[in-house]
Amino acid sequence: MTSSDIVWPRHTERLTLRPATAPDIARMLTYRNDPEVIRWLIKTTVDPEVFTQKWLEAADDPYDHSCVAFAGDVQVGSGMLEVIDGMAQGDAPEGTRVEGMLGYILDPAHAGHGYATEMSRNLLSLAFDDLGLRRVTAGCFADNHASRRILEKLGMRLEQYGVQDSWHAEVGWIDGCTYAILREEWLALREGQ
């Protein structure tokens, strides 16, 4: 299946995931710019017009599978799955170089209900089951214990702990973590459920 074959919306047990519309993005900006969220993001400020344009363009980008998540009619967060070339290794076997980068932002008003895990699990399904990616990575600040728990619940393993590898405009250099999961690991986890 190719990116253009992906069918939206996607449904989980409690959530509906779909590409963002302009009203969704306006709502997203309110929680994305919440100080409780900003403390966990590298970019502490965003230009609203540029942010909106980037999200609207994502719907037509075959490598960007960004979405918003709704519990009923309530927007609870946003997820990102970006398809990338696996470290520009041009001599790798055909079809094995493709990787994904996973990310998510949850509205703090809806934290603690498992929505980020549920949304991210569906994006991993999209990555491995629909797009046939070989590997997916995700990063977070080392002190973001909630995000680290989410990534571990998804079956992702800690691959790198970077000491002062991430610049945060408000606090300076901080430690970061990179998690990853391979397609065969994802399939084994799914079969074990």
Q: What residue type is assigned to position 80 of the chain?
A: M
Residue with tokens 């398809």: 83
pLDDT of residue 117: 98
Burial of 119 per CB tally in 10 Å (0-12, 13-18, 19+): buried
pLDDT of residue 5: 76
- Rounded Cα distance between 60 and 16, Å, is 19
Give the rounded percent of residues in the chain with a pLDDT score beyond 90.
80
Question: Could you tell me which residues come within 8 angstroms of residue 41 by beta carbon, excluding any fewer than 6 positions away?
Answer: 32, 105
Question: Could you tell me which residues come within 8 angstroms of residue 148 by beta carbon, excluding any fewer than 6 positions away?
Answer: 140, 142, 158, 177, 179
* Arithmetic mean of pLDDT over the chain: 92
pLDDT of residue 89: 56
Q: What does the pLDDT average to over 32-44?
A: 90
Kindly provide the residue ranges of all beta strands, DSSP E only, lying in the chain, ordered along the sequence: 10-11, 16-18, 67-71, 74-85, 98-106, 135-141, 157-168, 172-182
pTM over 0.75: yes
pLDDT of residue 92: 62
Residue 123's nearest CA partner among 32, 4, 15 is 15
Model pLDDT for residues 179-188, shown as the tens digit of each residue? 999 999 999 9
Model pLDDT for residues 53-62, shown as the tens digit of each residue? 999 999 889 9
Residue 124 has pLDDT above 60, yes or no: yes
Rg of the chain taking only CA atoms, in angstroms: 16
For residue 65, give the 3-state DSSP assignment.
coil
Domains and CATH numbers, the chain: 3-137 (3.40.630.30)
Residue 11's nearest CA partner among 83, 67, 62, 80 is 67
What the block records as the tokens of 95 is 């079809």
